Structure 1
Amino acid sequence: MPDNDFPCADEAIVLQSWGKNAKAWTRAVRTNAIESRRLVTNQAILDAVVARQPRTVLDIGCGEGWLVRALAARGIRATGIDAVPALIDQAREAGGEFQVASYEDIIASRLELKADTLVCNFALLGEESVAPLLRSLPALLEENGRLIVQTVHPLMACGERAYADGWRLESWAGFGDAFPSPAPWYFRTLSSWIALFVSAGWQLCQVQEPLHPSTGKPASVIFTAQKA
């Protein structure tokens, strides 16, 4: 099945896949096996957050928790949440403040947390779930706070496929047999991302495009937004 034609109507498949891949993902992150993260995107999101001089950070979709620990090492109180229990287990084993919570928990106002900076680092992977999540996030944000989102750069992630919104399938090519489950994710064009923020009630303050040091091409895009 072509990667750009993956019919992921049930977004639960995304979570199921990440549950199966939790240990492999943790190993890949902690051994710096992913070049773009090692050379560009990890430092890029860390710099973007630290530049805000936050007191408190909520990492939404924290995965195995590296960003929470990196911020804590800089004296910033950070908490991570993720809907995948297996990833939260990995995060807690390495230390830090973590809890299992889904986008549905946030949308339904079941999460009793607030922070002056919210972060979604490569965590907005769905289609229909993302807009209601973005509309709900201001309830977690303290006054004059910011939302920082890093995601794949649409220009580079598009590859040879049509530049159009749609489901893609991460096959983990190049990672050997470590990842047992292909992972679906929803591709958005740059204009779709901007429209999504605006329609959800956010005002974009800054758009950054961190560049890969070898290719000179954007490795990701980082959006910083405030409540409109």
Structure 2
Amino acid sequence: MSDSEFSDKKILHSWHRNAAPWIRAVDGAAIASRRLVTDAAIVAAALAHRPASVLDIGCGEGWLARELAAEGVEVWGIDAVAELVEAAQRRAGPQEHYRLLSYEALAAGELRQRFDLLVCNFSLLGKESVEGLFTAARELLNPCGHLLVQTLHPLAACADGDYRDGWRPGSWAGFSEDFSDPAPWYFRTLETWIEMFQRNDMALVQLREPLHPETGRPASLILCGRL
């Protein structure tokens, strides 16, 4: 799919439209793969680094930040969708801090803090916005800090399409009828993900492929780079 058909802006437009049903789906544990494997996988991967401070990039309604804060971590969350940030703020505990902020603004240096860990849980869907975020990671991390990413596994997400980088149409298959206007997303091969870490002065220190307990296939890909 061409860049003229899909863009980072269209991703954000879709999430503005679907914020309310997304909150209901998360609250109701309606997403089977999350319930069975990927939620626990990202929490365990984050806590394994014993961070004192975490930035949850694309925090949504704040479920991951709440999980980490419950373990004593000071967590900041940013998202570009006001409805999601407001939902997170309403439930925030004393160690949770949320801010409405786009990835572009984050990359431009509007958040003048450094963290032990940056975590992106299924929140890196675009092209330029993701590339900019990787570049900005060096200014957001403490020395020897980590960038942790959980994303769709490239082989599973590729389906019958070409195994090459490019825009793909979105889908809400498996979700309720409340969802509409699915967001496009930018597909990256495993090689490209690894190169993005290396290109931004991060050593890849972890690569995991959590398996779905029912299908035996990769439910996600988890990558972690150290500055």
Counterpart pick for 2:23 among 22, 26, 29: 26
Q: CA 1:218–1:103 in structure 2 vs 1: closer, same or farther (change >3 Å)?
A: same
Q: Which residue of 2 aligns with 1:86?
A: 83
Counterpart pick for 2:45 among 43, 48, 54: 48
CA RMSD of aligned residues (A): 1.5
Q: Which residue of 2 aligns with 1:206?
A: 206
- Please say if residues 152 and 220 of structure 2, whose CA atoms lie closer than 8 Å, have aligned partners that are also in contact: yes
Q: TM-score, normalised by structure 2?
A: 0.93
CA–CA distance in 1 between the matches of 2:4 and 2:90? 35
SS in 1 for 2:184: strand
In the TM superposition, structure 1's runs of 4+ consecutive aligned residues that sit over 3 Å from their partners are: 4-10
Q: Which residue of 1 aligns with 2:184?
A: 184
CA–CA distance in 2 between the matches of 1:103 and 1:203? 23
**Residue identity opposite 1:99 in structure 2:** R
Q: Does 1:77 align with 2:103?
A: no
Query: Residues 74-223 of structure 1: matches in 2 within 5 Å?
Result: 74-95=71-92, 96-223=96-223
CA–CA distance in 2 between the matches of 1:30 and 1:218? 24
CA–CA distance in 2 between the matches of 1:6 and 1:220? 25
Structure 1 position 119, deviation (Å) = 0.4
CA–CA distance in 1 between the matches of 2:14 and 2:112? 27
SS in 2 for 1:23: helix
Structure 1 position 181, deviation (Å) = 2.1
Structure 1 position 9, deviation (Å) = 4.5
For structure 2, the 5+ residue unaligned runs are none
Structure 1 position 126, deviation (Å) = 0.6
**Residue identity opposite 1:75 in structure 2:** G
Q: Which moved more, 1:203-212 or 1:106-115?
A: 106-115
SS in 2 for 1:129: helix
Aligned residues: 224
**Residue identity opposite 1:135 in structure 2:** T
Over the matched positions of the two proteins, sequence identity in percent amounts to 50
CA–CA distance in 1 between the matches of 2:197 and 2:225? 8
- Please say if residues 58 and 119 of structure 1, whose CA atoms lie closer than 8 Å, have aligned partners that are also in contact: yes
Q: CA 1:79–1:208 in structure 2 vs 1: closer, same or farther (change >3 Å)?
A: same
Structure 1 position 102, deviation (Å) = 1.2
CA–CA distance in 1 between the matches of 2:7 and 2:146? 30
SS in 1 for 2:168: strand
- Please say if residues 104 and 132 of structure 2, whose CA atoms lie closer than 8 Å, have aligned partners that are also in contact: no
Q: What per-residue deviation string (whole Å, max 9, x for no partner) do you get for residues 139-197 of structure 1?
A: 11112211111100001111122212111222212223211221111111111111122
- Please say if residues 166 and 188 of structure 1, whose CA atoms lie closer than 8 Å, have aligned partners that are also in contact: yes
Structure 1 position 7, deviation (Å) = 4.6
SS in 1 for 2:143: strand
